[in-house]
């Protein structure tokens, strides 16, 4: 089995074993692509949300928050284009009866060509050493040129087929001899469009019930409230409205754990700007969002931008921040310059004006919008998977440690009495009583202290505080640091400031 797959399996099983994530309704064998956040997962998720909220809302005086309802008037989704265009192209395999996204089958094929080219480049790097010129090699090596040209040609044909001719997407799958990844069969149906919104009903009787949708993005709740917030908050363009909350998509292929779920959470911000100033703000938010990600210290090389060549109907620029997940670089966040498409569409469908009077220009206009949209669950996966490490220690033994950024760790400190007698548990509990006002802390007295350290490491707890017999004499404890395993003897009275220094959001966000 490939190493990447091993790592990913480890992530999923660690998340379950240590109370971070469980499959939804597991007693009934789970529900595909729906997950529950357990006692530690819910804390980590909350901390990521707060880290985003603080930097986005509290630190920007021209951005305010919103918590719009999940259920919205159904015309919202007509105006936004979701009823007509929020589709994925699906294809069924006639033999296996398995369903796939046609575009993903082709994209996976193209990615294999890319990987072949990368392999040639890596081999050449080793062969030529310092003399290697990668740019020249990519443009002159016959094999690499062929792989990359073929990849480009396939993706261009896919893009054209997706917008103009689904028959040609099927023809492409057949020409490339793409087989069902699970069974190898090449017996495919036609490609059909499939709307991703979940429908539901409002109202008691069948006659009067109204067809609704569960929102597929939180953004529309912001657009329809644009004027309410602007007027009641006396906001001046440029300003932003931020929101976190659940979104629902009936994904055709839901896999890769919490990467692609049917019920997930987004953290979105819509920034309203003067028409004509959107590109400057688009570049601003691209950089600002990357800086926010980098502040968590997961490694600069784990991020890259992917600028979209083919744009959605509402956008005049768009980019993804991709993250190096255990299964490769994939979208973590989207930054989109959405023009005035959404506000204009809501004006048209509602018959109400959604315009701003700009006192400096002395004119009314529909603002342009730059959006930042990151999946909270994807952030969780990025942080969790990168932090999970197996370390070989000096004595040859291994330890599993979850090196979460301390600011996000579910529990900031575990307080451990060395033994369960001689008054040590009482002192440990007194320490907990003091610290719990400021931090999420845990008490643990079960097993030998070494095993308790390992358990705290596996949960990502940055500090272990051990109470021993000396504590009774001089009011000092040992504090053990998760990442270095270094232990210091400190006064109980200093614990709060030591922990604060490493976990405070201020210190982490100052790195931006």
- Tell me which residues touch ligand GAP (CB under 6 A): 217, 219, 249, 251, 260-261, 264, 266, 268, 331-334, 371, 373-375, 377-378
CB of 40 to ligand GAP, least distance (A): 20
Q: Which is nearer to ligand GAP, 270 or 466 (CB)?
A: 270
* Whole-angstrom Cα Rg for the chain: 26
CB of 509 to ligand GAP, least distance (A): 21
43 assigned ligand-binding residue: no
Q: Which is nearer to ligand GAP, 375 or 425 (CB)?
A: 375
374 assigned ligand-binding residue: yes
CB of 261 to ligand GAP, least distance (A): 4
Closest-approach residue to ligand GAP (CB): 375
Q: How far apart are CA 398 and CA 388, in angstroms?
A: 13
Q: Which is nearer to ligand GAP, 278 or 377 (CB)?
A: 377
88 assigned ligand-binding residue: no
Q: Which is nearer to ligand GAP, 356 or 380 (CB)?
A: 380
Beta-carbon count within 10 A of 98 CB = 15
Q: Which is nearer to ligand GAP, 161 or 334 (CB)?
A: 334
DSSP labels, 107-160 = HHHHHHHHHHHHHHHHHHHHHHGGG--HHHHHHH-HHHHHHHHHHHHHHHHHHH
434 assigned ligand-binding residue: no
445 assigned ligand-binding residue: no
Q: Which is nearer to ligand GAP, 198 or 365 (CB)?
A: 198
Q: Which is nearer to ligand GAP, 57 or 369 (CB)?
A: 369
DSSP three-state, residue 212: strand
> 507, 405 in Cβ contact below 8 A?
no
378 assigned ligand-binding residue: yes
Nearest by Cα to 478 from 424, 415, 423? 415
CB of 44 to ligand GAP, least distance (A): 16
Q: Which is nearer to ligand GAP, 105 or 370 (CB)?
A: 370
- Sequence-ordered list of residues with C-beta below 8 angstroms from that of 126, at least 6 positions apart, any chain: none
Q: How far apart are CA 388 and CA 8, in angstroms?
A: 10
376 assigned ligand-binding residue: yes
261 assigned ligand-binding residue: yes
Q: Which is nearer to ligand GAP, 263 or 277 (CB)?
A: 263
Q: 192: buried, middle or exposed (CB in 10 Å: 19+, 13-18, 0-12)?
A: middle
Q: 226: buried, middle or exposed (CB in 10 Å: 19+, 13-18, 0-12)?
A: buried
332 assigned ligand-binding residue: yes
CB of 439 to ligand GAP, least distance (A): 29
> 445, 395 in Cβ contact below 8 A?
no
Place of tokens 């999420």: 440
Backbone angles phi, psi at 494, to 5 degrees: -95, -5
Directed axis angle between helix 166-175 and helix 142-164, to 10°? 150
CB of 472 to ligand GAP, least distance (A): 51
157 assigned ligand-binding residue: no
CB of 68 to ligand GAP, least distance (A): 13
- Sequence-ordered list of residues with C-beta below 8 angstroms from that of 39, at least 6 positions apart, any chain: 19
CB of 469 to ligand GAP, least distance (A): 51
- Sequence-ordered list of residues with C-beta below 8 angstroms from that of 296, at least 6 positions apart, any chain: 51, 383, 405, 407, 408, 508
189 assigned ligand-binding residue: no
Q: Which is nearer to ligand GAP, 43 or 377 (CB)?
A: 377
CB of 288 to ligand GAP, least distance (A): 16
Q: How far apart are CA 455 and CA 442, in angstroms?
A: 12
> 243, 223 in Cβ contact below 8 A?
no
DSSP-assigned beta bridge partners for residue 213: 199
377 assigned ligand-binding residue: yes
- Which residue ranges make up the annotated binding site? 101, 217, 249-251, 259-268, 331-332, 371-378
- Which residue ranges make up the annotated binding site for ATP? 249-251, 259-264, 331-332, 375-378
- Which residue ranges make up the annotated binding site for substrate? 101, 217, 264-268, 371-375
């Amino acid at each position: 089995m490939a190493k990447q797959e091993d790592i990913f399996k480890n992530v999923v099983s660690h998340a379950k074993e240590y109370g971070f994530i469980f499959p939804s309704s597991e007693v009934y064998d789970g529900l595909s692509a729906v997950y529950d956040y357990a006692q530690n997962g819910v804390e980590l998720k909350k901390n990521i949300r707060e880290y985003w909220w603080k930097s986005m809302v509290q630190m920007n005086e021209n951005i305010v928050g919103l918590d719009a309802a999940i259920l919205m008037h159904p015309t919202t989704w007509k105006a936004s284009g979701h009823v007509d265009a929020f589709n994925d192209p699906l294809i069924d395999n006639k033999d296996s009866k398995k369903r796939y996204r046609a575009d993903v089958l082709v994209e996976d094929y193209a990615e294999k060509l890319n990987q072949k080219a990368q392999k040639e480049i890596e081999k050449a790097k080793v062969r030529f050493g310092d003399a290697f010129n990668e740019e020249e090699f990519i443009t002159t090596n016959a094999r690499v040129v062929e792989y990359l040209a073929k990849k480009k040609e396939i993706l261009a044909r896919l893009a054209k087929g997706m917008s103009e001719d689904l028959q040609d997407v099927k023809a492409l799958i057949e020409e490339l001899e793409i087989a069902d990844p699970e069974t190898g069969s090449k017996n495919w149906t036609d490609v059909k469009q499939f709307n991703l919104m979940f429908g539901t009903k409002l109202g008691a009787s069948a006659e009067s019930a109204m067809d609704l949708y569960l929102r597929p993005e939180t953004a529309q709740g912001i657009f329809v409230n644009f004027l309410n917030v602007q007027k009641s908050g006396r906001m001046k363009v440029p300003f932003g409205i931020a929101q976190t909350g659940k979104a629902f998509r009936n994904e055709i292929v839901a896999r890769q754990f919490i990467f692609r779920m049917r019920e997930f959470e987004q953290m979105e911000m819509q920034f309203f700007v003067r028409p004509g100033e959107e590109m400057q703000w688009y570049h601003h938010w691209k950089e600002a969002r990357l800086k926010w990600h980098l502040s968590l210290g997961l490694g600069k090389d784990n991020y890259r931008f992917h600028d979209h060549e083919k744009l959605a109907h509402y956008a005049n620029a768009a980019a993804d921040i991709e993250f190096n997940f255990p299964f490769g670089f994939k979208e973590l966040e989207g930054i989109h310059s959405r023009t005035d498409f959404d506000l204009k569409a809501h004006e048209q469908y509602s018959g109400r004006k959604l315009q701003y009077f700009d006192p400096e220009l002395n004119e009314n206009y529909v603002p342009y919008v730059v959006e930042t949209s990151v999946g909270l669950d994807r952030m969780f996966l990025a942080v969790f998977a990168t932090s999970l490490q197996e370390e070989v220690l000096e004595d040859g033994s291994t330890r599993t440690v979850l090196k979460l950024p301390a600011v996000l760790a579910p529990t900031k400190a575990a307080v451990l009495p060395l033994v369960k007698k001689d008054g040590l548990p009482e002192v440990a509990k007194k320490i907990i009583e003091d610290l719990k006002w400021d931090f999420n802390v845990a008490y643990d007295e079960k097993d030998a202290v070494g095993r308790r350290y390992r358990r705290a490491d596996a949960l990502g707890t940055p500090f272990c505080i051990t109470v021993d017999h000396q504590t009774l004499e001089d009011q000092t404890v040992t504090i053990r640091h998760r990442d270095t395993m270094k232990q210091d003897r400190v006064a109980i009275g200093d614990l709060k400031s030591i922990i604060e220094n490493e976990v405070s959001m201020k210190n982490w966000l100052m790195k931006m």
